[in-house]
């Protein structure tokens, strides 16, 4: 009898944990959907401003040696703005076009899997405008990040070369 009660209590605790994990996952999924819908207009505005700031301020600053550190940091920061916009937009598109199961699959692929799944969903649904928006945001995200890192490495190499030339002058 004790063994049966012990097994039954273990079963009930395990079932309760599964239910709690399922409820928390559902709350996260629908909370993320609600938050993405509410944040997307602000993220669009932030992306437009970041794009303008990148084109008219950061890219020209990369030509001057003294301002390259600022430009590098700014490019990396704007890449995160573009990336957040990309993730929220892809999350909403995947949810709208293919549903909850596709979003769950995308979230299990290192949390960023909603982007390739959104590309597939928009491609198979012939939503070419949304498809091109995702491609553009991908290009902006990784282009700014790569350029920012590249300039940062270049600045670091120049600083090391300056240090060694200063050291040789002594």
Q: Is residue 114 part of a domain?
A: yes
Task: Compute CA distances 157 → 64, 136, 137, 146, 153, whole Å.
Answer: 15, 31, 30, 16, 6
Please report whether residue 66 resides in a domain: yes
What is the pLDDT averaged over residues 44-72? 94
| pLDDT tens figures, 79-101 | 999 999 999 999 999 999 998 88
Angle at 53 between CA 51 and CA 55, to 5 degrees: 70
Give the structural domain span for 123.
Answer: 34-169
Look at residue 146 in the predicted model and tell me its pLDDT: 96
Is 22 part of a structural domain of the chain? no
Those residues with Cβ within 8 angstroms of residue 152's Cβ, 6 or more apart along the chain or in another chain: 69, 72, 73, 76
Structure tokens at 62: 């990369």
Q: Is residue 76 in some structural domain?
A: yes
Residue 29 within any structural domain of the chain: no
pLDDT in tens, 7-40: 777 777 777 777 877 777 667 777 777 888 888 9
Do 117 and 94 meet the contact criterion of CB atoms below 8 Å apart? yes
Angle between helices 128-169 and 114-124 (to 10 degrees): 140
Give the global pTM.
0.81
Q: Does residue 2 belong to any structural domain of this protein? A: no
- Using only C-alpha atoms, the chain has a radius of gyration, in whole angstroms, of 24
In a domain, 6, yes or no: no
- Mean pLDDT in the chain? 87
Does a structural domain hold residue 100? Answer: yes
Give the count of alpha carbons within 13 A of 160, CB side only: 6
Residue 152, burial from CB neighbour count under 10 angstroms (0-12, 13-18, 19+): middle
Q: What does the pLDDT read at residue 35?
A: 81
Count of domains for the chain: 1
Mean pLDDT across 105-125: 87
């Amino acid at each position: 009898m004790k063994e049966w009660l012990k097994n039954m209590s273990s079963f009930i605790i395990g079932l309760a944990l599964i239910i709690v994990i399922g409820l928390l996952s559902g709350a996260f999924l629908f909370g993320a959907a609600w938050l993405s819908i509410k944040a997307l207009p602000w993220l669009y505005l932030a992306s437009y401003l970041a794009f303008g700031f990148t084109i008219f301020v950061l890219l020209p600053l990369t030509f001057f040696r003294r301002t390259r550190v600022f430009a590098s940091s700014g490019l990396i920061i704007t890449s995160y703005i573009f990336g957040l916009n990309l993730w929220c937009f892809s999350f909403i598109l995947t949810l709208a076009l293919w549903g909850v199961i596709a979003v769950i699959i995308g979230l299990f692929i290192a949390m960023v899997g909603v982007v390739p799944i959104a590309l597939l969903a928009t491609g198979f649904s012939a939503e070419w405008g949304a498809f091109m928006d995702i491609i553009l945001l991908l290009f902006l995200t990784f282009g700014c990040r790569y350029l920012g890192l590249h300039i940062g490495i270049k600045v670091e190499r120049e600083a090391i070369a300056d240090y060694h030339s200063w050291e040789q002058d002594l």
